[in-house]
Amino acid sequence: MYKSDIIEKYSIDLSKLPATNSRIEAVENLENLIIKLNTRKELSKKKIELTLDIYDKNELEISYINTDIELAKIHTSVIQSKKSIEEYIEKTYLVYKSECDDNWESLMKKALKESKSLKHKVLKDVLKDIKIDGNYDSLEIKIGHYVSIKKYLYGDK
């Protein structure tokens, strides 16, 4: 399944990435739906061949075509979701995880110091919602906060 492929490919603990884990589970559910819809399509095709009544045959053909359209949409969604998940892991999680772990404390010290200045009132408000100690259940949230504060303090360096 997709989840085990991601874990193996990136050597990550998905329990620390709950949003990504949920997205991966959604992809797996869609992949299971694709299997079911392909089965429906095969059965519909066989039933069309066996049906003599023109009206019933037409209704079955419409169902067959609708299933095909649904499959195309789901395939597209799966491809886009997988691409998005892997881009997040490669371009955000893997890039910032170690930097975040290594620099969290010093960044928070600088942010706290800067937040005392009147020109950084926004930063002071943002820091109210952040766990300064860095103890987050979700690394996605921690990395998001790290990147946001870093960009606020240093720009897009």
- Render pLDDT for 112-137 as a digit per residue (tens, 0 to 9): 888 888 677 788 888 888 888 888 88
Question: What is the DSSP annotation of 66-130?
Answer: HHHHHHHHHHHHHHHHHHHHHHHIIIIIHHHHHHHHHHHHHHHHHHHHHHTSGGGHHHHHHHTTS
- Render pLDDT for 18-53 as a digit per residue (tens, 0 to 9): 999 999 999 999 999 999 999 999 999 999 999 999
Smallest Cα–Cα separation from 140: which of 93, 108, 99? 93
Write down the pTM of the prediction.
0.82
Q: Where are the domains of the chain?
A: 2-154
